[in-house]
């Protein structure tokens, strides 16, 4: 997650036995064999590698970010995702000129950066022209300092979100339930100012008006501070996405959905969903409620060992369940009349009458 300004290698076999116990078959459809799915072992393999010292903190302007991008592209290929013709090798590559604002005498430096993007074509001959985009940033802040633990591994921020994209791509590729086309993207340089997602939002490889929703994942690695298995939906005031999610989440799910607290509302603008929102698209970020207040945020000890793999796995399984109506075109989100103002009143009423 991008900081806001202060105001006062071995991969296992695949995809969720637990998930299929949560999902209910849609009319006329059967769920795939649960034998592979979103398992803890798969989740662990992804997040352990992405947060390893080998990747040196995944600085978008550094040489080691390519290791993460190669890994993600291989996993997209392994899942059977298609490449967009304009993004060969799953790479949406572009140039970015960096100007050092702290040293105005420094010459600008041009970097070649890459988002990693793959897709599944929808099964319906008409609805396949509509798209759902699942995304998360794969970069972090790299190496800082000269002594001690200088690698900022970014296990929670945002190896967990990237893992969610990989696991969902694998799941939906096997499920073959998507009437709509699905795009899976991991973004570079979020920590540098949402650079990668801004570029992709401008360079969508399909008509922009066909993007039904963009679902972003950020810091999914730990349950709420009180230990509850809750998942925060940022921006519930802006569209009906949260209503779709709540209706689709099975009652026996170990995960429950919560709105942001007042001090968390502003974090809607702190991650890559903002790049798509700025162009008028319906978006949200799904994150752990702890993400905005975690003492390990942007610290060198944001390590794999501090993650709760059980929570992370169950959160991704829940996301697969609650986004299914979007994937199958059983539901279509719309923007909410009144937006933030209307939500403020509803939130106050919910707190009075939980």
pLDDT score of 82 more than 70? yes
Distances (CA, A) of 113 to 66, 97, 319: 9, 10, 29
DSSP state letters, 172-216:
HHHH---SSEEEEEEES-STTTSHHHHHHHHS-SS-GGGEEEEEE
pLDDT score of 228 more than 50? yes
State mean pLDDT over 32-57.
86
- Residue 152 has what pLDDT? 98
pLDDT in tens, 70-79: 999 999 999 9
- Residue 337 has what pLDDT? 83
The tokens for 48 are: 């352990």
State mean pLDDT over 124-138.
98
Give the separation between CA 323 and CA 70, rounded to whole angstroms.
27
pLDDT score of 353 more than 70? no
The tokens for 253 are: 């799910």
DSSP state letters, 283-329:
EEEEE-GGGGG-TTTTSTT--GGGS-HHHHHHHHHHHHHHTHHHHTT
Q: Is 275 helix (H, G, I), strand (E, B) or coil?
A: helix
Give the separation between CA 315 and CA 49, rounded to whole angstroms.
19
C-alpha atoms less than 13 angstroms from C-alpha of 52 in its C-beta half-sphere: 14
Query: Per-residue confidence at 2, pLDDT binned at 50, 70, 90?
Result: low
Give the separation between CA 303 and CA 289, rounded to whole angstroms.
19
pLDDT in tens, 171-193: 999 999 999 999 999 999 999 99
pLDDT score of 103 more than 80? yes
State mean pLDDT over 275-295.
97
- Residue 5 has what pLDDT? 44
Tell me if 307 sits within 8 A of 212, measured CB to CB.
Answer: no
If you search the block for the tokens 């209706």, which residue do you land on? 247
Give the separation between CA 251 and CA 260, rounded to whole angstroms.
21
Q: How much of the chain, in percent, has pLDDT values that exceed 70?
A: 85
- Residue 18 has what pLDDT? 38
Query: Per-residue confidence at 13, pLDDT binned at 50, 70, 90?
Result: very low
Q: What domains can you pick out in the chain, each with its CATH number?
A: 17-352 (3.40.630.10)
Query: Per-residue confidence at 37, pLDDT binned at 50, 70, 90?
Result: confident
State mean pLDDT over 20-48.
65
pLDDT score of 351 more than 80? no
State mean pLDDT over 113-126.
98
State mean pLDDT over 77-93.
98
- Residue 104 has what pLDDT? 87
State mean pLDDT over 245-252.
93
Q: Which residues contact 292 (CB under 8 A, 6 or more apart)?
A: 1, 260, 263, 264, 267
Tell me if 86 sits within 8 A of 114, measured CB to CB.
Answer: no
Tell me if 73 sits within 8 A of 90, measured CB to CB.
Answer: yes
pLDDT in tens, 200-218: 999 999 999 999 999 999 9
DSSP state letters, 69-135:
HHHHHHHHHHHTPBPPTTSGGGEEEEEEEE--SS-TTSPPEEEEEEEEEEEE--SSTTGGGSEEEEE
What is the chain's mean pLDDT, rounded? 89
State mean pLDDT over 242-260.
95
- Residue 259 has what pLDDT? 97
Residue of 312, 328, 327 whose CA lies nearest to 255: 312
**Dihedral (CA of 294, 216, 276, 55) sign:** positive
pLDDT score of 265 more than 90? yes
């Amino acid at each position: 997650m991008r900081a806001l300004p202060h105001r006062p290698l071995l991969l296992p076999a695949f995809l969720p036995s637990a998930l299929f116990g949560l999902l209910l078959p849609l009319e006329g459809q059967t769920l795939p064999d649960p034998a592979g799915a979103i398992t803890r072992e798969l989740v662990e393999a992804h997040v352990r590698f992405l947060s390893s010292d080998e990747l040196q903190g995944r600085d978008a302007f550094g040489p080691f970010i390519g290791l993460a991008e190669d890994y993600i592209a291989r996993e997209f290929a392994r899942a059977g995702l298609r490449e967009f013709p304009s993004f060969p090798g799953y790479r949406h590559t572009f140039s970015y000129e960096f100007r050092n604002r702290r040293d105005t005498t420094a010459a600008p430096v041009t970097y070649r950066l890459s988002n990693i993007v793959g897709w599944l074509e929808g099964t319906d001959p008409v609805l396949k022209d509509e798209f759902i985009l699942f995304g998360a940033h794969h970069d972090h802040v790299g190496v800082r300092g000269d002594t001690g633990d200088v690698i900022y591994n970014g296990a929670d921020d945002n190896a967990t979100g990237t893992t969610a994209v990989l696991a969902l791509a694998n799941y939906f590729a096997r499920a073959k339930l998507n009437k709509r086309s699905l795009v899976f993207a991991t973004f570079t340089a979020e920590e540098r100012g949402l650079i990668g997602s801004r570029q992709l939002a401008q360079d969508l490889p399909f008509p922009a008006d066909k993007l039904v929703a963009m679902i972003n994942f950020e810091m999914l690695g730990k349950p709420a501070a009180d230990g509850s298995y809750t998942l925060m939906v940022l921006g519930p005031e802006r569209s009906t996405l949260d209503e779709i999610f709540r209706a689709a989440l099975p009652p026996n799910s170990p995960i429950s959905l919560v709105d942001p607290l007042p001090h968390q509302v502003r974090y809607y603008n702190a991650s890559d969903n903002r790049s798509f929102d700025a162009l008028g698209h319906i978006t949200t970020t799904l994150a752990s409620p702890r993400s905005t207040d975690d003492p390990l945020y942007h610290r060198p000890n944001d390590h794999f060992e501090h993650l709760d793999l059980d929570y992370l796995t169950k959160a991704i399984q829940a996301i697969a369940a609650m986004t299914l109506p979007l994937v199958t075109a059983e539901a279509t989100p719309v923007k909410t009349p009144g937006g933030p103002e209307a939500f403020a009143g509803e939130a106050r009423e919910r707190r009075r009458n939980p």
